[in-house]
Structure 1
Amino acid sequence: MEKRRSAVRLLQLYLLLCDGERYTLSQLAERINGSRQTVLRLMEELDRVRGVEIKKWKAGRQRYYQLRSRTSMSSIPLDPDAIRYLVLCQHIVRHMIPEPVRENLEHRFMEHLAGGESPASEGESFSLATFKKGYVDYTPFKRIFDDLELSMRKRTLCRVVYRTRINKPEKVFYIAPLKLLATKDSFYVVGQVTDQNGNPEDRSPMTMAVHRIRSVTRLEKRFPDTWRQRADAAELHNFGFRFDPPFRVRIRFNPDAATYVHERRWSEDEEKRLLEDGSLELVFTSTSRPEVRAFVCGFGSGAELLEPEDLRKEIMDDLEQAVRQYRRI
């Protein structure tokens, strides 16, 4: 079991580095949910693979790591067991991949499995299905992905037409796309907002939902490589996007909701305490008040926000408004 867990982490690390971005040791450890020592050991294994080279350098106080491919990805050997885990990962995020890319991936995966060294015996089969509700179909957004990815690689500014809400007018932003994020079954781009001439605004990088981008126009103006550090500064280990200064949250879940909450991780610094009546108390750091409100209210009467007090008052006001709405029927 430990061997398979190590293989999965090795695959996670390789796929992460394949995006061409540079990462610090702490960032890589956070992404694969492992320790810094584990990441160093896995990178040593990757360095021994023909066609793979890990570029390492120091800038300021940070040491960075980036994948430098010596040959094409198709020449990198993967045994059948590793490919099966890759297929499993692909199925889990299948609904988030644009259809043309998804079909190409599935075709190539099946080719590799069919030509593997350990084909399934007659009568053996592997069946997997995923069920998602309320997901975003990213097939219409393939061009958006392609333009953002190319702009990130070439470090060119973009003119983005963006709609924050379906009942709001579209807005135009000029951004330097710095990083793509995936969370809660959705993709987001982190970009530094600029004026039309490429001068950065005095604000933290903006986070945009990819599915709310109406169009992307790549511009000739380039942005400096040092701007990427602004995206690296965004904290990804707390609950929610960085909309607010960090604050502590304390929630009590009733026995019916306790199991679901206990089985999942909500923040790197989370604390969970099972109470005698079967309920659960969860404490964590968040940087998004709207996401905490939605999280608590999503459990209905199964959750009660205890802290912070001002946010508790906001939720109480929301619930009172909801009661008034239902009583109008």
Structure 2
Amino acid sequence: MKIDRLLEMVYVLFEKKNVTAKELSNYFEVSQRTIYRDLETLSAAGIPIYTSKGKGGGIRLLDSYVMKKSMVTDKDQLEIISSLQGMNALNVPGVEPVLKKLGVLFQRNESKWIDVDFSHWGSGEDEKEKFMKLKSAIIYKKRIQFDYYSTNGEYSERIMEPLQLIFKGQAWYVYGFCMVRNAYRMFRVTRINKLNVTDESFERCLEEENRFFVAEIKEPITMVLQIDPFMAFRVYDEFEHSEIVKNDDGSFTVTKTLPENDWVYGYILSFGASAQVLEPKNLRDSIRKILENSLKKYI
């Protein structure tokens, strides 16, 4: 506890520049006598602390003092700060306090270079708690238990050794080794319920091949879509320019290679009557079958 307090005290002195013993006493909830003993310990360790009396006086670090960081170059510092800013932009809980402290210790006040809004993770405390549990389980290598609903709505109970959180195709997934199926699997986080981090540890590590999509998708297919002119905003937002051909009538022919799965079907159907599949025939047949089954519900 004392070591933690000493480190925190150095951070406070870096941030506040000038602070009184009473303020430190209130901050750490210890007596002023304890504060002075801690200051003596820090001074003995070579940290240049000095005190001044009178108006505006207090406890300070020498202005020229910078914590020894020879093991971390200026480039390393920038990479650490920018990486943490990226994590903070993703609303990863617990990052902002670390970012603030390192910014003070490195004496850097870099501009915020990234801002990302994945709205689902910011939607509520329950989702943040789920994210924290998954993060903790991966870092500390603890097995997790949860209820899961597949794309077909099938319910199952799973035990998993989580290895990685992945953001792909506008959704979060957790990848790892499923103890129930005895195989590597990837689960969409929004379909996970009653998540529990157990006390059971595991040694398994993430494979270099990173083949986390094998269980979720079929082989990639190259599809050709014809999309109506008034959907131009989506065409240019969602496809690369090299994939788009604008036709004489204003419509678009788009060629895209994607893994064939339920997400692809849903994506194509999201265009409604404004898009049709030209190729391949099996994908066109699959979309037609989905539409025919949907139509039966309204007849």
| Coarse TM-score class (shorter-chain normalised) | 0.5 to 0.7
Gapped runs of 5+ residues in structure 1? Answer: 1-43, 55-70, 99-136
Map 1:1-329; keep pairs closer than 5 Å.
46-47=75-76, 49=78, 72-74=98-100, 75-76=102-103, 77-79=108-110, 82-83=111-112, 86=114, 89=115, 92-93=117-118, 95-98=119-122, 137-164=123-150, 168-169=154-155, 171-183=156-168, 185-195=170-180, 201=182, 203-225=183-205, 227-229=206-208, 232-234=210-212, 242-265=216-239, 271-326=243-298, 328=299
Deviations 1:136-184 (A, max 9, x none): x342233322221111111222222223379654x21121112112345
Three-state SS of the structure 2 residue aligned to 1:205 is strand
Identical-pair percentage: 17
Residue identity opposite 1:317 in structure 2: K
Query: Residues 279 and 221 (structure 1 numbering): CA distance in 2 closer, same or farther, change over 3 Å?
Result: same
User: CA shift at 1:260, angstroms?
Assistant: 1.6
Residue identity opposite 1:255 in structure 2: P
User: CA shift at 1:271, angstroms?
Assistant: 1.9
Query: Residues 151 and 228 (structure 1 numbering): CA distance in 2 closer, same or farther, change over 3 Å?
Result: farther
Residue identity opposite 1:47 in structure 2: D
Larger radius of gyration: 2
Equivalent residues of 1:156, 1:223 under 8 A apart? no
1:28 paired residue number: none
Residue identity opposite 2:211 in structure 1: A
Three-state SS of the structure 2 residue aligned to 1:223 is coil
Query: Residues 46 and 261 (structure 1 numbering): CA distance in 2 closer, same or farther, change over 3 Å?
Result: farther
Three-state SS of the structure 2 residue aligned to 1:263 is helix
Three-state SS of the structure 2 residue aligned to 1:292 is helix
Equivalent residues of 1:242, 1:288 under 8 A apart? no
Deviations 1:11-38 (A, max 9, x none): xxxxxxxxxxxxxxxxxxxxxxxxxxxx
Residue identity opposite 1:152 in structure 2: I
Query: Residues 278 and 259 (structure 1 numbering): CA distance in 2 closer, same or farther, change over 3 Å?
Result: farther
Number of residue equivalences: 210
Residue identity opposite 1:49 in structure 2: L
Three-state SS of the structure 1 residue aligned to 2:158 is strand
Query: Residues 154 and 290 (structure 1 numbering): CA distance in 2 closer, same or farther, change over 3 Å?
Result: same
Query: Residues 218 and 288 (structure 1 numbering): CA distance in 2 closer, same or farther, change over 3 Å?
Result: farther
Query: Residues 180 and 206 (structure 1 numbering): CA distance in 2 closer, same or farther, change over 3 Å?
Result: same
Distance 1:141 1:293 in 2: 27
Gapped runs of 5+ residues in structure 2? Answer: 1-72, 84-96
User: CA shift at 1:255, angstroms?
Assistant: 0.9
TM-score where L is the length of structure 2: 0.59
RMSD: 3.6
Query: Residues 286 and 204 (structure 1 numbering): CA distance in 2 closer, same or farther, change over 3 Å?
Result: farther
Distance 2:288 2:196 in 1: 41
